[in-house]
Structure 1
Amino acid sequence: MDQATHQHLYMNEGIAEISYSSNSSVQKKAIHKTKPVIEGAILDILSKFSSTISATNQKMQSICVADLGCSSGPNALLVISYLLDTINKYRESTVMPEILVFLNDLPENDFNTLFKYFKSFGDELRITKGDGFRPCFVAGMPGTFYGRLFPSNSVHFVHSSYSLHWLSQVTINKFNIITQVPTGNESNKGNLYIAKSSPPSVIEAYLKQFKKDFLIFLKCRSEELIKGGRMVLTLMCRRSPDPTSKECCSIWGLLSMALNDMVLEGVVEEEKLDMFNFPLYFPSLEEVKTITQSEGSFRIDKPETFHVNWDGSDSSEGGSMTDTLRRSYLIANSIRVVSESLLTSHFGEEIINELFGRFRDIVAGYIVN
């Protein structure tokens, strides 16, 4: 991932109304749904390494965990909480190791807010778990996970949730405006992401970039993980083999509609819209399996899919107009906090409030219909 991405791809900082910390219920729901998988992976590691070490009359001094793409809100602490609860249950039958957790994200991530959350989290742990609980040491690790982050054979468990759909590719055009778009694209006029109107070359370029990035990710983790280590990766994917299906493209299509309306009214330059594409790709499960098999370092134990709505709910049922307005507000904010940094770097800060106000109205109409 190049320097431009480091500077312009980050979730909204702080704890205010339009911050990632206050608008990440979708991501929180996904972590909740993967809790049994996380716990199973940790138990497998503890059982495997504890038995190996016991056979040699040694002690397992520490277990190293990495959460990649942790962002800045309290969700990262959920993973730590699941980890500690699982270890606490297991420790009755063996001497437990100390725990080292690395929280990773790009350098522009709001690590300050993250560690403010961790202070209160640590205080609560000391109260609820007592002195008998093994120490947990937490450190920040800024950097892209599309490259090496840790020494060889040093990490026992890797977790990443809702991060690997972000691509690494960023180019700077002749106007010195940052555009997030895979190399080799042709016109994706009027779109911010893959759409039904996107030419095949654009779709191919997105998939090619995802393959390249995911292969690098797997190769780097294979070098860093201890033999027998585990990974739990949660990706925003699509069930359909069609990369233009509504399940992955509709929300970005609605945001494109808002921007196109602003183009028609002269608020946004058409050329700027045509030059911008989000550095995202939502793969199918089959694509993930194929890339993993071709890299060859990992075996997929439990490929599972689940659904979470853009407002963080499980239900697909409609509701009252109040519910509709509330849902559209939540959806607009959830998209804004993950995309605002990129949109601001390209279109300027002055259009953002109007853009997401229009987007919210369009989403409300989409929900009703």
Structure 2
Amino acid sequence: MDVEKVFHMNGGIGVTSYAENSSLQKRGSDMVKHLTTGTVLEIFLSTTPKSLGIADLGCSSGHNSLTIIKDIVEAVQGTSSNMLHPTPEFRVYLNDLPTNDFNSIFKALPEFYKGFEVEKNGGGPSIFIGGYAGSFYRRLFPNNCLHFVYSSYSLHWLSRVPPALYDEQNSSINKGNIYISESSPPLVSEAYFKQFQDDFNDFLCSRSQELVVGGRMVLILLGRESQDHVDRGNSFFWELLSRSFAELVSKGEVEKEKLDSYEVHFYAPSKNEIEDEVRKEGSFNVDRIEMIEIERDHDKDGRSYGTAIAMTVRAIQESMICHHFGEGILDNLFEIYGRMVDEEMAEEEIRPITFAVVLRKV
């Protein structure tokens, strides 16, 4: 499966869209907003450029896509005013895969610009926003054109399903599982880790050429607390999705062979793995790593936690599942998944970990 051609968050504003099912990601980015805006101000104050280059990698669509840009612009505006310094122009590059719903972002731009004009009585800051389609595991922008790179809940998605998961006959070595599980052979976790190393190195190499010296990055991604790949965190959510598929197999709604040949292109790194790859690549220093946990909140529609998680995962994974299994299983699959999450949470907490990483180009 060609991930770049298939993978995307659900577009639009419908009930299963990413726009309507990304509140968990929004809460995570809000928890480290001070870190994001503070990092931008550091690079602005140290360089005071007339034109500030900002990239949001894996921007997706919906309410979250422009919120952080607004926060950054307002922070720089306020600091510039306090310094009696002219506010710079803002060059904003919104990136995601070509299948992303960029149209929803573009439709939201008039209202976005209007907000600044109202606040400034018709004369807002100069903000130039464009969409850049392509994988962030490759070069996207010209040399030294960026001061700040932001990526929220994107870098745990690998560029591809690790090819080492398949033997010489192109048969999966991880049958019955869609991610690293307790029943997975050791080669499975090795394959995922190797793919993460390759991808993260490519990401760092590409950004090192696009950022100015001293440029910063804030990367928010799912991870794991321990060195064990299998824990009661992000990997356990995939374990529950595997069990949901298995229930459909037992009912004859999904072929076992279809499940055996499906794996997700996901990896939750540990803190040490992130730091090791940054050190090995050599273009950046780690200024800061924070580990956060997003506490459960009451759903706005009164849904259970399991249902909210199921809708979030569906908004992210629907394109891949439809491509492999067909769309006919979606409703049943995520109904089962939501129930399983609720049952597990009633027994013991599931603790998904998020890392916020601040890197500085040396």
Q: Give yes or no for TM over 0.5.
A: yes
Query: 1:129-278 maps to which residues of 2 (within 5 A)?
Result: 129-169=120-160, 180-185=161-166, 187-278=173-264
Out of 276, 282, 294, the residue aligned to residue 280 of structure 2 is 294
1:367 aligns with 2:345: yes
Partner of 1:74: 63
Instruction: Identify which of 13, 25, 28 aligns with 2:26.
Output: 28
Q: 2:105 pairs with 114, 136, 149, which one?
A: 114
Residue pair 2:307, 2:335 contacting (<8 A) in 1 also: no
Task: Tell me, in whole angstroms, the C-alpha distance in 1 between the residues paired with 2:130 and 2:5.
Answer: 21
Which residue is 1:349 aligned to? 327
Alpha-carbon shift at residue 184 of structure 1 (Å): 4.3
Percentage of identical aligned residues: 41
Asked if residue 123 in structure 1 is aligned to residue 104 in structure 2, the reply is no
Structure 1 residue 106: Cα displacement: 0.1
Please state which structure has a larger fraction of its residues in strand: 2
1:90 and 2:79 are equivalent in the alignment: yes
> What is the Cα-based RMSD across aligned positions, in Å?
1.8
Pairing partner for 1:284 from 270, 275, 283: 270
CA distance 1:32–1:367, change in 2 (3 Å): same
8 A Cα contact 1:65 1:157, kept in partner? yes
Distance in structure 1 (CA, Å) of the matches to 2:139 and 2:278: 18
Query: Which residue of the other structure, out of 35, 42, 54, is the alignment partner of 2:40?
Result: 42
SS in structure 2 at match of 1:303: strand
8 Å contact 2:149–2:217 — kept in the other structure? yes
- CA distance change for structure 1 residues 221 and 209 in 2, over 3 Å: closer, same or farther? same
TM-score (norm 1): 0.88
Distance in 2, matches of 1:221 and 1:183, equals 27
Deviation for aligned residue 1:332: 0.7
How far is the alpha carbon of 1:364 from its aligned partner? Answer: 2.0
Consecutive unaligned residues in structure 2, runs of 5 or more = 167-171, 348-362
Question: Does structure 2 retain, via aligned residues, the 8 Å contact 1:182–1:206?
Answer: no
Shift of residue 45, structure 1, vs aligned partner: 1.4
Question: Contact between 2:116 and 2:125, CA under 8 Å: does it hold in 1?
Answer: no
2:274 is the counterpart of 1:326: no
* TM superposition score normalised by structure 2: 0.90
CA distance in 2, matches of 1:327, 1:184: 32
- Mapped to 2, the partners of 1:343 and 1:19 lie a distance apart of 15
Query: In the aligned structure 2, how far is the partner of 1:347 from the partner of 1:231?
Result: 37
Cα distance in structure 2, aligned partners of 1:164 and 1:226: 21
2:162 touches 2:195 (CA, 8 Å); kept in 1?
Answer: no
Higher mean alpha-carbon deviation, 209-218 vs 183-192, is at 183-192
Q: Secondary structure at the match of 2:38?
A: helix
- Offset from partner CA, 1:247-283 (integer Å, 9 cap, x none): 1211111111111011111110101101100000000
Asked if the contact 2:117–2:123 (Cα under 8 Å) also holds between the matched residues in 1, the reply is no
Residue matched to 1:336: 314
